[in-house]
Amino acid sequence: MLPEKELTIVGTSPEMKLTRNKVTGRAEFTVDMRRPGMLYAKMLRSPHASANINGIDYSRALALSGVVAVITYEDAKYLYKPSHGSSREYGLDDMVRYVGDKVAMVAAETEEIAELALGYIDVDYEVLPHIVDMEEAMEPDAPVVHPERQGIDCDGNILDHNIQEWGDVEEGFKKADFIIENRFYTPRVCHAALEPHAMLAEWDLDGNLTMWSSEQTAFMIRDSLADALKMPRSKIRFIVPDYVGGGFGGKYESAEKIALAILARKAGKPVMWRLTREEEFYTTRTRSPCIFESRTGVTKDGVFVARQMRGIIDIGSYAWGAIMSSRAASYMTMLYKCANIKYTGYGVYTNTPPSGAMRGFTSTPIHYAMEAEIDEIAAAIDMDPLEFRLKNKLNVGDIIPLNGVAVSSSGLEETMLKGASAIGWHRRNAKPGAPDARYKRGIGMASYCHYSPMLKGTERSIGNAVLKSNVDGSFHLLLGLADIGQGLRTIMAQICAEALGGILDEINLTLADTQTTPWGTTTAASRSTIETGGAVKDVAEKMKRRLIELASVMMGLHEGDLDTKEGLVYELANPGNSVRFGEILHHPDVYLRGDNVIVLKSTYSVPQFVPPYGSQFAEVEVDTETGEVRVIKMVAASDVGRAIHPKSVEGQLEGGIHMGIGFALAEELKIDPVTGAPLNPNFLDYKLFRAGDMPELKIIIVEPVDPYSVYGVKGVGEMTVIATAPAIRNAIFNATGAKVFRLPLTSENVLAALKEGHV
């Protein structure tokens, strides 16, 4: 790898690529696509939370003018197995497991006709008992969500039961001067991305399938489709369009693509399927509801000696059980020092909407429990919560028990101190709840860590990149990742231009097309810049060396005497002696040898686990008569490693706070405990915060450049959503002394806590 010199492109904030098309409305999203003869699909969904389907008669629907094809489980009972995790779901099945589950699919000339046809499909349901409460689902006599998996990977509704332990917690508790026990609940939350899920499937006469879809990954879905349909991967082309209207983990993988592919093949025409906003709420993946029961021991001088957690993760009807319940344990080891830690986790099926990845996947719920508890511990031992965190935090060089890796860089202390200064930590109540008044103000904080990338033990995160030259000296970068609105396209171009010594505007990109780009993982887990950015930097350095090699012959100089900048190769001793990239590639000798067409590839393996850290602070005002909480100010101090595009980083951190405030104060997809039906699957009843509802925000970027990552970067996208809810909760505790264990922190929950002391 070439030695780094002063950076000129990385660390700046140029105009984001393709932005003008977005702001002028010229951008084409999946929902805007059209193909000749295109039909439209609609899905018939189950009104029952659990039922066997004994038969389906769709003859009346097929007789409607404009209806072209109908499929059922008899056509599409193909198993969709995700690339990781444990969800097992068919394209269409003869058993439904939640209200909204897939029953039959119609293709028609218009969406209106397809919708009408759904009412003409007759289904013979055998209604079964169902279960929607995660704890009741664990009982031996509970209705079983997946009876076909018993004895294979399920014990009743428990898909996953794992125990992870470091040290000896019982011995640790013997050393504790103070032991606190709590029970926390976090709710089912929807992604609510602006662009609904949309996908278009088309077959050619040679049996090749092309699918366009608003997704966070292309290759993983292609591979899962190929396995399900028993087709060679070469016969499936999956494309994520240039414009995706938000993902947040919700546009990841789903079995419904199998049904669409089968429907398009049966119809013999391209078929577009666009979910309604209501479908978005209760048929796509949600954040799992969670229960965390904690028991924590500390010494009187504020040192952790034992931490124990029991986590119950409601994985819904189809979900990633093992990955969700087991990874939560990791965060108990990554932020604070403690010699004795034990986590017991359960992934539990219920007859509710399927759950899956959501911003801060696996970390956001358990951080609420861990960080909310710290402020109570600090109050009990009469210690400042900031002092407690500073005393127990992991430092550079400390070993992370999770994987035995030493912390290579950390801005955690800096985020704590700078965030505390920005919020005015000295203004907080020395004693929670004082003084006595109707409107009480308080200040709270919470810290966080996260996977970025996901490395544990011998696992490795891989990125791929292909870079090819054009004869005019511009370049084309091909990556298997999708840009879901966070600016990945621009950031990768910045890394490429920096390492190459090129011009940013002369780096064009093709992303997430399984036929033309190299294999790529998924745009998720705040890992893209570290993984694929490493491959981009490496392939750009290879291209730089090749250009210098060609130029050295032209210029009659040794390669070691040359370098690149701003799209030219120049002599180090005499910078005025230079040649542009285009001149090199146009040179007759180079052109005639065919050396002007340079195509290079790099595969990059992330060498070291690189967790990002951060701290958030909240100031709130609580109306003690109504329980209403108003967030006055939020401060987010985030260790991002190096900010490749600082403005983009700020935007992502602000967006995370927005989502975190909704998670903290309002958002919950409610399920009828009797019928299993969703009660608020719309923007009227599902409460989201708008831009005008946001408090004063202060973003602090901390940049401890990590030695093991590309240009020292860490993750950004998920970070500030993780600590927002516990920071607000702790501010409420500081203001009132009331302990709220259940999210969201609605007026009802806060008022109940004020009356009872806790809820």
Both tokens of 207, joined, read 């049996």
Residue found under tokens 């004895």: 151
Tokens 């997704």 map to which residue?
A: 215
Q: How far apart are CA 571 and CA 560, in angstroms?
A: 9
- Rg (alpha carbons) of the chain, rounded to whole number: 27
Judge contact between 318 and 285, C-beta under 8 A. Answer: no
Of 4, 52, 40, which Cα lies nearest the Cα of 116?
A: 40
Six-digit token string for 461? 């995160």
Locate all alpha helices (DSSP H) within 556-602, ordered by sequence: 581-586, 588-593
Is 668 noted as a catalytic residue in this protein?
no
For residue 190, give both structure tokens: 């929807």
Catalytic-role residue among 541, 718, 748, 756: 718
574 CB-near residues (< 8 Å, 6+ apart): none
| Distance separating alpha carbons of residues 644 and 713, to the nearest angstrom | 7
Q: Which residue has the tokens 């021991």?
A: 297
Cα(134)–Cα(112) distance, rounded to whole angstroms? 38
Q: Where are the alpha helices (DSSP H) in 129-249?
A: 134-137, 169-174, 219-229
Dist. CA 451–CA 718, nearest whole Å: 10
What long-range pairs does 229-232 form, CB within 8 A, spacing at least 24?
A: 229/78, 229/258, 229/261
> What does the buried/exposed string (b/e) look like for 73-111 if buried means 16 or more CB atoms within 10 Å of the residue's CB?
bebbebebbbbebbbbbbbbbbbbbbbbbbbbbbbbbeb
Neighbouring residues of 421: CB distance < 8 A, sequence distance ≥ 6: none
Residues marked as catalytic: 718
